Structures are given as C-alpha cells and as structure tokens.
Amino acid sequence: MPLSVRLKHLLKAIGRSNFVLSVIAYVGYVYSLLVGKTGQFDESCMDEFKKVIEENHGVIMVSWHGRALMLPYLGRNMPRPVKALVSPHADGAIIGKILKRYDIYPIDGSSDRRAVGAAKQITEELKNNTSVTLISDGPRGPRMRLNKSVIYFASKTGKPIVGMTYSSEKAKVINSWDAMLLPKLFKKGVVKCTKPMFVAPDVDENEVERLRKQMEDELNQLTFEADEACGLPKILPLNTIKPRRKRHWGSKCFVFIPVYRLLMTLLFPLIRATYIKKRQKNGKEPTERFNERLGNYTHERPKGKLYWFHGASVGEAISMLPLIDKLLKEDKGLHIMVTTGTLTSAEIMAKRLPERAFHQFIPFDVPKFANSLLTYFRPDAVLWFESELWPSLLYETKKYGIPLILVNGRISDKSLRNWSYVKPVSRELLSCFTLLLGQSEQDKERLQVLSSIPAQCVGNIKYAGMPLPIDEEMLKELKNAVGKRQVFLISSTHHDEEAQLAVELPRLQAAVKDILVIVVPRHPNRGAEIAEMFQEKGFETEQRAKGGLIGADTEIYVADTIGEMGLWYKLASVSFIGGSLIPHGGQNFIEPAKDKNAVIVGPFMHNFTDMTARAKEAYALVQVNNAKEVVDEAISLLSNSEKLKKSQEAAYAWTVQEATVLDKLADVIKEELAR
C-alpha cells in the first residue's frame, strides 16, 4: 500500500478516535457555555415553551441545522427527559458528547441506513413522555426546509410540534450549506419559539404537506425576525442539496477566495497607505463620504424590502436606471440601494435616481468592510451589473444565502483567454451567483464555459436606456447660440482620438458651411488639454468647464462637464462615438440613436460586438476604419439631407425594437427572486 494512502488512513483513524472526538466536544461545550454565560439572550419565550412541555408530557422540538450550536444551552431548563436525533458519523458523535453534558441523550440514526430504527425509537420515546429534538434540514440540505416526517411523528404520538430558533449580534456566519451561526462572547441575542402545532391522528397526505409548510414558514419567519433584531442580513432557505463528493488523497481543492480574503485583510493597511492615498491625492476618492469605502455607513436602512444594485462606474450605473424605475413602479414596498466606485457615477446617480432609491459607495473589497455593508443594510437581493468580480463581496453575499444575480454579464475575448488559464478561479467566483445573465448569446456561452452553473440571455439592458436628463432652459439657450449651424458631435473620446480627428476636421469645415463641432471627452478632467490641443492647431475653441460659451466664431466646443450629455445629443444630428479609433473597444451608442442621431463608430468595437452587429444589420450605424473615414462619412451625411434623415430614422427605429429587453429581464429577475 502506498505511503500516502497509509498516512491518509492513519490520520483518519486519529481524527475519529474517542480521545480526539472528546476533546473537540469539550471545546464545543465550553464555547456554547461561555457564549451563554457572557451573552444576554432574551429567553422570554422559553417560559411558554416549558409550560407546553409540562401540559403535554413532552414535545417535538424542531430547529434548523445552522441554529443548532446553542440549542443545548438554551434548552438547559427544559423539563427532562430530553433526547435528540444525531448522525451516527464522527460529527454526530461530537454533538452527542456535547448534548450529554447538558443531560440530553442522543438517538443514533439520522442517516438513511438507520432511518427506520431511529423513527421507531423516536416514536417510542415520545409515547413514553420524552421530549425529542429534531434538526429537520440536515445533514446535507435543503437548508431551512422542514422534513414531513416531523408531522408523522406528531400524528402518531399526539405530541405538539414547537419550533425554536435564535440569533446573536455580530455573529459569524460560516459559508456552509446550512449557514451555521457562530455567536460571539458578550453579545446580546434573542430566542424565538413558534406556537405549538397539534396534528390529528388520521391526517391525510395533503394535510401533512400543508402543516409541514405552515411550520416551516413560521420557523423561517421567526428566524428572519431574530436576525433582523440582531442586525444580521436575512439568511434565506435554499432548495439545493450539498452533494456527497469523494475526495482522493492528494487531489487539489482550489481555495482562491479564502486565500484572497486573508491577503486583503493583511495587506489592506499597506494598500491604503500607498495606492488609496495616491487616489485620494488625485481626487479619485470621495472626501466627505470616504467612510463608506471602509464599510462605515450612516444612511438609514429603509423599512421593508431592499434590493442592492451594484455597477462599477458610469456606464453600468446608467444602464441599471430603466430596471430600477420599472421595479419600483411595480412594487410600491420596494427600495433600492445603488453602489458604485467612482465620483462621476455618484454625481450622476444623485441627479437621476428616482424616489425610494439611494446611492452609496462600494466598500473596498476587504472581508470586514463587505460584512459591514451586508449587516448594516441587510439586502433581500443583490443585482450585480459588472464584469469585475470582487471576491470578498461575492463570498459574504453567498454566505448569507442572499440571492445574487449577475445582470448583463460580459466576457470579452481577452477576458475569456485570461480566465481560461485559471478556470478554477472563475468557477469559484461565479459559483457565488444564483443566476447568470449574459448580455448576448456569446456571453451566455462563455459564462457557461467558465462557471459551474447555467447561464441565460434575455438581451442587453443597455438597449433599454432611459432618456438622458435635460435642462430645457439650458437647451433653449444652447439652440439660440448654435443658430442654424449643423452640429457634429464627437462623443466619449479617449486619449489620442481627438488629435486624430483634429487632422481631418478642416476638410469637414470646408465641405459643410457653418458647422459646429462639439467634443465630449469620456473623462472630463481631460477637457483643458483637449481645448489647448485644438487651439494650437488653429481652431477657435471654447471650454465649457471654464465658462466658455458658443459664439458665432466658435469652431470647437469642448463640453467637459458632467450630467449634460443629453443636451449634446439633442443639438447634434450626427455623432461619432469614441473609444473606437483606438483598441479600447468602443462606448455605448444607444443614447445618440435614441435621440435620432446618425451614428458613426470606428473599427475597435469589441466591447460591443453583439450590439454593433445588430445595429449594422438594421442600418442603425456606420462603422469605418480610421479618422479620415469618420470625417468622410460625416461630410456625406451632413451634405445630403435625405441620407441623413434615413440614417437618423433607422437608428431610432432600432432602439425602439431592442427596448423590449427590459420586460424580459424584469420577468426573469422577478421569477428568480420569487423562488
């Protein structure tokens, strides 16, 4: 026999020895005792519970696997005798030894092999006026789902069923199938019990299922209330069963997330002192609300149902607005929290979020900060509008059993190549989600390749973008300033694109009389350098951020402000969308198309491959190869009113056709959250 196999058997034998099991059991007993003695548990429900036991000479007590740790201590004053069903395996042996210290004796046989014998013993014990404790959602799940055998025991013996649960402030929740709750010392807690349920002896199968569901719902509701009272996120039931997997000695078990979480905890002080300090110095971090980045929140959690939407920056934040608006209109009791990580997106959200929605900054991806967000706001569901996956935030959300949906997921060619090298990491991260929604069929297929859970595609939510906000008075002023001139908009440009186009723009000025070119950089902080570049090339240039106005002789107007994009699309008749003359991958062109702009893009649109293909098929845009061809196409459109009108109408018609994605997406999300 190989040495590795012999070593495995030796370690297994040591781990199952009576001495080791006794030591572990003693530690567990001391831990539960210390938690109980140092904490302040509200046990007011226990008086009524004891009265039920005395009046009925025994009771069937049920609880959840994740709440089993403190049950022996909390039931220390229950009238005896009391017995509990435990597994015949090593973990059951440990539990049995702990129970005995509280004068609760185990019934061996919760596994399938001993189920019949255990059922007979439970029935006999109940008939002999012994109370029996059953953990009804073990040993592998589904979590927080009551087994109907409990109803049969009550029917045969006439004993009432009483559910018991508890929670504790700042308790640790283990990322296990049962979401085991580990209370901390010196913390307040609360114990809750259901009303006794009596079952008739001649109950039929339909009534068994009705009563099972009734007790399950009551116990879950009390668990939710206990967690809320202790400031913990709601831990939800799960229908899945943890599979039994054979682990071979020496096989690799990938543990990326635990290692990452440990490193982030240890290294964050250094990261804060260097990288984050530099970001603060450059004005890229909030000043007044920086505590939110550290998981310290002051915005009061709204009462009732709360969904958490996350998008990293401007594009993702804007894309979620139509869905936010739709969900809030359909559910008057719903509130939505939006988190982003950039100052620009925060400013836009402050202006555009509807009533019953509010913005917060996403915390740095440190376990402590992620847990703080979840325990403070206790969201009922999380919708992640982002391709960047933050392990600590995803892990903590999964740990609490909160539904986590990836919306508009996109896997680019580069991302697919990179993830393919570390597929175990992608599987580990994507397994945190309960539903994956790709923005295209290609993205759906790539998500399925990289994950262990199915993915779907109902379309790209960016097709359903809401109209951009417009200051009507300002629009009127700008139209007066522009007069009868035609407007060519160069939108969402990145570094070097403005310089490429500056070389070609004199041809546009020569071909189209009275043309005004408006340049809107993707990053407004580049406005000054862009204005200076155009001035050096001889263009009459004004910069909006410095108070510059459009005059009769203005040739280039640099619109480097935030939240005014809707104005420029309303003024323009033709728009070039930046990020596409360089290998950035392009920017979203839905908004100009919605405002009936003829749309031009460059050769690099790989961030929007599916969207670009669909738009080209509908003649909703023109794709060219370089800056010269951009200006050539602009001249062709602005010089031919009939061609311009057809292009504008085709662009608008395409956006109307594609906007149906919002209804499909909302239906899929509501169906998932209703499970």
The mean pLDDT value for 121-143 works out to 87
Tens of pLDDT, residue by residue over 24-68, are 889 989 999 999 999 999 999 999 999 999 999 999 999 999 998
Residue 157 has pLDDT above 70, yes or no: yes
pLDDT of residue 253: 41
- DSSP string covering 135-147, please? ETT-SS--TT---
**DSSP helix/strand/coil, 41:** strand
**DSSP helix/strand/coil, 460:** coil
H/E run at residue 120: helix 115-127
Paired tokens of 381: 């569901």
Q: Which amino acid is at 48?
A: E
Instruction: Please name the residue that has the structure tokens 């023109």.
Output: 622
Residues 212 and 196: their CA atoms lie apart, in Å, by 13
Query: 340: closest CA among 321, 322, 355?
Result: 321
- The percentage of residues in the chain with a pLDDT greater than 70, rounded to a whole number, is 93
Residue 225 has pLDDT above 70, yes or no: yes
One of 3.40.1130.10, 3.40.190.10, 3.30.70.260, 3.40.50.300 is the CATH number of 16-229, namely 3.40.1130.10
Confidence band of 611 (pLDDT split at 50, 70, 90): confident
pLDDT of residue 140: 66
Q: 101-134 in b/e burial notation, b at 16+ Cβ within 10 A?
A: bbebbbbbbbeeeeeeebbebbbebbeeebbbbb
Residue 247 has pLDDT above 50, yes or no: no
**DSSP helix/strand/coil, 226:** helix
Backbone angles phi and psi of 173, in degrees to 5 = -110, 120
pLDDT of residue 238: 77
**DSSP helix/strand/coil, 244:** coil
The mean pLDDT value for 192-204 works out to 94
The mean pLDDT value for 293-300 works out to 95
- Residue 196's Cβ-side half-sphere holds a number of Cα atoms within 13 Å equal to 19
Residues 145 and 135: their CA atoms lie apart, in Å, by 10
Residues 490 and 580: their CA atoms lie apart, in Å, by 11
pLDDT of residue 467: 75
The mean pLDDT value for 117-145 works out to 87
Contact status, residue 533 vs residue 498, Cβ threshold 8 Å: yes
Paired tokens of 48: 């009524």
CATH 3.40.50.11720 matches 257-464 = yes
* Average pLDDT of every residue of the chain: 89
Paired tokens of 151: 């109803």
Q: What architecture is domain 472-658?
A: 3-Layer(aba) Sandwich (3.40)
CA dist list (Å): 20 to 6, 17, 553: 19, 5, 88
Tens of pLDDT, residue by residue over 612-634, are 998 999 999 999 999 999 999 99
Q: Which of 59-63, 437-441, 595-599 has the lowest mean pLDDT?
A: 437-441
CA dist list (Å): 396 to 231, 241, 372, 550: 15, 20, 10, 51
Q: What is the pTM of this model?
A: 0.69
pLDDT of residue 111: 42
Paired tokens of 174: 């283990």
pLDDT of residue 473: 95
pLDDT of residue 124: 93
Same CATH topology for 257-464 and 472-658: the answer is yes
- Per-domain boundaries in the chain: 16-229, 257-464, 472-658
Paired tokens of 154: 């009550």
Q: Where are the beta strands (DSSP E) in 391-521?
A: 404-409, 435-438, 455-457, 486-493, 515-521
pLDDT of residue 10: 63
Residues 140 and 211: their CA atoms lie apart, in Å, by 23
Contact status, residue 588 vs residue 607, Cβ threshold 8 Å: no
